Amino acid sequence: MEMMQPNMEDSRSAEAVLSVVIPAYEEGSHIKSSIGVIESVLKENKIPYEFIIVDDGSRDNTWAELKSLTDTNPKVTALRLSRNFGKESALCAGLTYAAGDMVLVMDADLQHPPELIPEMVKAWRNGADVVDCIKNSRGKEKPFYRICAKLFYYILLKTADIDLENASDFKLMDRMVVEAWKQLPERTTFFRGMASWVGFERKQLRFDVAKRVNGKTKWSSYRLLRLAVNAITSFTSVRAENALLAF
């Protein structure tokens, strides 16, 4: 099927707006400073931007800090989920509200390096529809989590034919990719896998996972197991449906 494409020089100009989507769960101790660091990079590189920050039912002062930010910074929009639904749901909410020509997803703890953003935007302006940031290593992570991650990605590769080893949620997507992602029928979302599955022109950049600016990971063993089961079952079913349609 042929489709008319927009004029890339117009849609990917220096005036194109970047939506920065950040899920936040109990990040009150550093959310303001993290936004400040990211915003400094965007201003220094003259990248028009907006922030969409989603509070995923935090029990600390995250929401109070975000409300304070929105009162003083018109570039920041804050959303609050009614309870802790999980990072995937928070990402869905943020992507739904993002209005930019390109959308960047990153974590609130600065383990995704803001200094890589200008290079990601440059890759987008040069024609990449998706800029995937790949980890050089998993950083300082407990052996248990490292082993579980390897097992999860191995099973996902074998059952759904998707290779996500060392992949991350640190991605920049063109507006048309976001719209395609929003049309996917999955009720149980797995952003990293779904963003890979939709296709489009892609470029990979590599990065070293930085130390968290504060606090500790919110991923318990139970949360990781639940995400793994949801991801594997949803993508296995998608592959089966596609096989039936092809048949």
State residue 2's pLDDT score: 36
**101 belongs to a structural domain:** yes
Asked if the structure places residue 198 within a domain, the reply is yes
pLDDT > 90? residue 25: yes
Establish if 154 belongs to a structural domain. no
Range of the domain at 106: 13-137+167-215
The answer as to whether 48 is a domain residue is yes
pLDDT digits 0-9 by tens, 122-145 = 999 999 999 999 888 755 656 666
Per the structure, how many domains does the chain have? 1
Q: What is the CATH number of the domain that holds 86?
A: 3.90.550.10
User: In Å, how far from its chain's centre is CA 38?
Assistant: 15
Contact 113, 207 (CB under 8 A): yes
- Residue 102 belongs to a domain: yes
Choice among 65-79, 99-113, 195-209 with the minimum mean pLDDT: 195-209
